[in-house]
Amino acid sequence: MDIQLEKKKGIKPKQIAYIVIGALLLFLGYKMAFGNSLATFRTDADKISIATVNPGKFDDYITINGNVAPISTIFMDAYEGGRVTEKLIEEGATVKKGDIILKLENMNLYEQILASESNLALKQNDLRSTKLTFDSRQVEGKKALATAYYDLQRLKRSFEQNQELFDEELVSKEVYLTSKEDYELSQKQYEIVKLQTEQDDEMRKTSLAGLDTDLSRMQKTLGMVYQRLDHLNVRAPADGQLGFLDAEIGQNISQGQRIGQINVLTDYKIEAEIDEHYIDRVKRDLTASFERNGETFELRLRKVYPEVRNGRFKVDLVFTDAKPETIRTGQSYNIKLQLGASSDALLLPKGSFFQSTGGQWIFVLNPNGNEAIKRPIRVGKQNSRYYEVMEGLEAGEKVITSNYETFGEAERIVLK
């Protein structure tokens, strides 16, 4: 009788091998199906711009656009308000300092002048009257002093004679004492009159000096009012060109209102605006240049304005040597502003990709040139042609430099 043997349960080595091979095949299939799951964008190669990253000399400059302006501008504000009665010079005309440009009239100012003249006349009359009064008192005082002195001398002689006669017992004691008392009274009266005269003289000097000061002050005030009257003639403050004039005949001009400007044409400057990205690097005395008709003209940055408006700040540049012969106010020049010395660097050509990436990443082509992968990079300085590559790229690599807006969130670009 045959005995049936039970099969041993478990996985045989051969089965294990099949399982491992199957798992490996599944893994490889998964990798092939999902391993390249990067967001992909497909485009034609002729629709994008491709540039090569190369080593070279990095010129640390920026290109800015500047406009020619007068070296200085003097604004004309109305010293006095009034109605425009006459316009003698038009905009754009050349003027000399002191030339009358506008004539104004101001009835209130005319009334003030009449009132000031009237007050001055009254003050002058008061001064004359006071002087006459003091002169009269001075004469009377001198007459009284002279009379008192005469009486003093006469009574002194009478007293001295009576004293001698009294000593010789030729006159009575009463006569002697009377003459003595009269002499002493005359002395006191003389001192009183003398003191009164001196006080009158001192008062005369003080009062007349005060009146003279008041009169001088009023005359100066009247002179200032006359000067205000002259300010109704609006004059050119300097030699130059009348840049603009905001006034018409019959128009009412307020005091302090800006009505025009004079452009001083003895020299020129160039006004330019720069992106605020460079505000920490733009300093006074930087050098700049531009080309005109095949000739290079040198400039110096004279002033940096501190205000930033709409992401830009303003600078003024002046010529350090010759100027273009045909230079005119309002002309526009493309200027190369040197921010630093040239240096060896890895150069990335500029492109509109920077608007989307801010220089933080870029699409780099593979050696075959049929696809590009997103790669982080770091750029440093930039000029009108290149970015200075600090990290992320190697010499000879090709990158896409055109605009990335159509790529969306893609991390891989496939080129057809």
Q: What is the mean pLDDT of residues 377-401?
A: 91
Structure tokens at 24: 């490996």
pLDDT (tens digit per residue) in 5-57:
454 455 555 566 666 666 666 655 544 444 456 788 999 888 899 999 999 99
359: left (phi over 0), alpha (psi -120 to 50) or beta: left
CA dist., res. 57 & res. 346, Å (int): 8
CA torsion 85→89→92→95, rounded to 10°? -130
Q: Which is nearest to 375 in space by CA: 359, 386, 388? A: 359
pLDDT (tens digit per residue) in 138-182:
888 888 889 989 988 999 998 889 888 888 888 888 988 998 898
Q: Which is nearest to 183 in space by CA: 214, 162, 203, 207? A: 162
Contact 371, 88 (CB under 8 A): no
| DSSP alpha helix (H) spans, 249-407 | 354-357
Q: Which of 1-15, 52-66, 93-107, 225-239 has the lowest mean pLDDT?
A: 1-15
Residue 33 pLDDT: 45
Residues of the chain above pLDDT 70, percent: 91
Q: Which is nearest to 382 in space by CA: 276, 277, 272, 291? A: 277
Q: Which residues on adjacent β-strands are paired with residue 242?
A: 262
pLDDT (tens digit per residue) in 319-370:
998 899 888 888 999 999 998 888 899 999 999 999 889 889 999 999 998 9
Residues 6+ apart with CB under 8 A from 356: 403, 404, 405
Q: Which of 25-39, 91-105, 107-121, 290-304 has the lowest mean pLDDT?
A: 25-39
